[in-house]
Amino acid sequence: MSDAYAQPTTEADRAIPGPLAGYTTLRMGGPAGRIVASTSADEIIRAVQTTDGPILILAGGSNVVIGDTGFPGTVVLVRSRGLRIVSEDAGSVTVRVEAGEPWDDLVAATIGNGWAGLECLSGIPGSTGATPIQNVGAYGQEVAETITGVEVYDRLDGTRRIIPAAECGFAYRGSIFKYQDRWVVLSVDFRLTRSPLSGPVRYAELARALGVEVGERVPLADARAAVLRLRAGKGMVLDAADPDTRSVGSFFTNPVLDRATYELLRERSADLGEPPAWPGADGLVKVSAAWLIDKAGFAKGHPGPDGVAISSKHTLALTNRSGTASTSDLLTLASTIRDTVHARLGVTLHPEPVLINCVL
């Protein structure tokens, strides 16, 4: 297996300078002890089996914050590619997608083939293998709705198997794979609908952009185009010329509150307007983190220390605007936002990305 630290093994890697900072969308993170690139599931397993010491599995680097001291062990870059049909019938198709397949390439391919189910997840950076880890979702869709199974290497017992979706523990931005390293994702199976039309449009902002009512369906390509426009307007589509896209997307998850906590929030924010909220099961209420941040006094573009800032387009994105800021600078801004929101509104924000060798 080639050592990708001194000389990365793919064209994409060669185009990115620096150590671990070059493998993340934030462009932050110190050096690794060693970096290797694995281009197949077998290579990924072999890298894990033959490496002593700590291992970090890293693919698109779009949902990870790496500390300034880097990672002292081996970083395995997931560079496996490809998808294939594993089953199909008149109304649906199940595709198996390698963990390193770029996510938006997959979404574009499904739309091109007339397969519905992922169209509202267009433009999200990162790899396919990362999507079940945090149950990626946007504009009314989540990958948990179409995933039928996740192929993993189990580091505990040394086996390779498929975990059915029902055993993945999918929840809002979470799964059994998040915050632990037992399972290494090798591929993901998605069951998609054969249809030229999207699923029912569930998200009001997207419905407005499409000029339809919530619940209506639109051509797949139209849904993708509208989502890409919306995301680009928020700095959520990677663009080397746009410093707002040097981020991990939404830095904080939308808090999910019990009814009593939500009512307390309404009381504390009575002079600020009604908190945008979405009711869930068992009386739980999901509240807009962007609204909380804004009402706590942090507007779009709010500067942090030494080149970090809230995105000028989206309150939830924290950006490496200068391109040279440190992880500690970013976390200083994040902790200031979190602590101020809690002090003023009584709600605790939690980070969405995985933190490596750093603490918020």
Q: What is the pLDDT of residues 206-215, one digit of tens each?
A: 999 999 999 9
The first and second tokens of residue 56, run together, are 């970090």
Active site residue 79: no
Predicted pLDDT of residue 275: 94
Active site residue 187: no
Q: Which contacts qualify for 294-300: CB closer than 8 Å, 24 or more apart?
A: 295/269, 295/344, 295/345, 296/337, 296/340, 296/341, 296/344, 296/345, 297/340, 297/344, 298/337, 298/340
CA 150 to chain centre: 17
Mean pLDDT, residues 236-250 taken together? 90
Predicted pLDDT of residue 18: 44
Instruction: Decide: 289 and 349 in contact? Cβ < 8 Å.
Output: yes
CB atoms inside a 10 Å sphere around CB 295: 18
Number of separate helices (H) and strands (E) present in the chain: 8, 18
Give pLDDT tens digits for 53-65: 899 999 999 999 9
Predicted pLDDT of residue 179: 79
Mean pLDDT, residues 135-157 taken together? 96
Instruction: Decide: 133 and 185 in contact? Cβ < 8 Å.
Output: yes
Burial of residue 311 (CB within 10 Å: 0-12, 13-18, 19+) is: buried
- Looking up tokens 């602590």, which residue turns up? 339
Instruction: Decide: 273 and 86 in contact? Cβ < 8 Å.
Output: no
pLDDT > 70 fraction of the chain, expressed in percent and rounded: 95
Q: Measured at the alpha carbon of residue 29, what is the angle toward residues 353 and 26, in degrees to the nearest 5?
A: 55
- Of the listed 173, 224, 231, 321, which one is catalytic? 173
Give pLDDT tens digits for 150-201: 999 999 999 999 999 999 999 988 899 987 889 999 999 999 999 999 999 9
CA 318 to chain centre: 14
- Of the listed 250, 269, 311, 326, which one is catalytic? 250
- Looking up tokens 């281009």, which residue turns up? 39
What is the gyration radius of the CA atoms in the chain, in angstroms?
20
The first and second tokens of residue 330, run together, are 């970013």
Q: With the CA atoms of 347, 202, 59 and 244 taken in that order, what torsion angle do they form, in degrees rounded to the nearest 10?
A: -70
In whole angstroms, give the CA distance from residue 150 to residue 211: 36
Kindly report the pTM of this predicted structure: 0.87
pLDDT at 13 over 60: no
Q: Which of 250, 251, 249, 256 is nearest to 347 (CA)?
A: 256
Q: Which of 39, 80, 38 is nearest to 55 (CA)?
A: 38
- Local structure of 83: helix, strand or coil: strand
DSSP lists the bridge partners of residue 137 as 142
Predicted pLDDT of residue 8: 36
- SS3 percent helix, strand, coil of the chain, rounded to 5, is 30, 25, 45
Predicted pLDDT of residue 16: 33
In whole angstroms, give the CA distance from residue 255 to residue 261: 11
Mean pLDDT, residues 95-122 taken together? 97
Average pLDDT, the chain: 92
Mean pLDDT, residues 98-126 taken together? 97
Mean pLDDT, residues 224-246 taken together? 92
Predicted pLDDT of residue 17: 34
Could you tell me the CA-to-CA distances from 14 to 9, 53, 161, 323 in Å, in that order?
7, 26, 33, 18
pLDDT at 3 over 90: no
Active site residue 352: yes
